[in-house]
Amino acid sequence: MPDLAFVLLSRAERPDLGRLIAALRELGFAEADAEAPTEADGPAVVSLGGDTRLLVMLMPAPHPDAAMMAGPMTPPPDELAAAPAHYVVTTLGLEGDVREKDRTLAALTAAVVRASPATAAMLGHGRLFYDASLFAELAADAAQHGEVPIEIVVDVTAAAEPDDRMSFLSHGLERYGREDFFVTAPVSGRGALDFLLGLVRWMIEDPNKSLPTGDTVGRDAKERIRIQREPSPVDPARTVVRLDLPS
């Protein structure tokens, strides 16, 4: 089954193959080489070595779900909806576990961003588009260090809560066999998003780590935030780990 990503564009323009090959090689895909398209309006095709291929198909129309959701790290919905065209980025033959595939797909998509008039990008399993420059920077840095770019692999949405509080909900940890997080915090507080992203990275990088219900976690040695579990606010059939940060 192919792995997908999507890139929003400021204009309907095919990727620059020369720039794409250069960007791919810079990001570690040393065997990247362009293949001749089978049709004039077909996808740009790049061989990555062996049976692995990258295909970039121009769709000269807005992405139908560009502004479907918003998060604390996404561009304004009206900017996303204004993109007149997009790419469907397809990879064939990627190998490895979920971590390896996510890291590789993000890096490949970053190369596409660098070779095109991109405004935003997202991985196919995601819910949110991210600013193109931010996406490319995070993906390239993670690839260089052999890490998963958790900020663009696991989406985070925000919502208002009663009593001057707000919440952050992660989306996508189930792909790693983990539960998502639901973190509430005072609106006037600081550090809740960074705390959540740190927990997400912990769960992905340490598959043996568990968070038993009733135990505590914290942002420092003194803080004790009780670990709770409850149905997800967006899908009651799934369980999330709830953490209520103090006021």
Q: Is the pLDDT of residue 104 over 80?
A: yes
SS (H, E, C) the chain: CCEEEEEEECCCCCCCHHHHHHHHHHCCCCCCEEECCCCCCCCEEEECCCCCEEEEEEECCCCCCCCCCCCCCCCCHHHHHCCCEEEEEEEECCCCCHHHHHHHHHHHHHHHHHCCCEEEEEECCCCCCEEHHHHHHHHHHHHHHCCCCHHHHCEEEEEEECCCEEEEEEECHHHHCCCEEEEEEECCCCCHHHHHHHHHHHHHHCCCCCCCCCCEECCCCCCCEECEEEECCCCCCCEEEEEECCC
pLDDT in the model for residue 124 = 95
For 181-208, the pLDDT digits (tens) are 999 999 998 899 999 999 999 999 998 9
For 62-78, the pLDDT digits (tens) are 999 988 888 888 899 89
Q: Where are the domains of the chain?
A: 3-152, 154-244
pTM (2 d.p.):
0.93
pLDDT in the model for residue 144 = 93
For 204-233, the pLDDT digits (tens) are 999 899 999 999 999 988 999 999 999 999
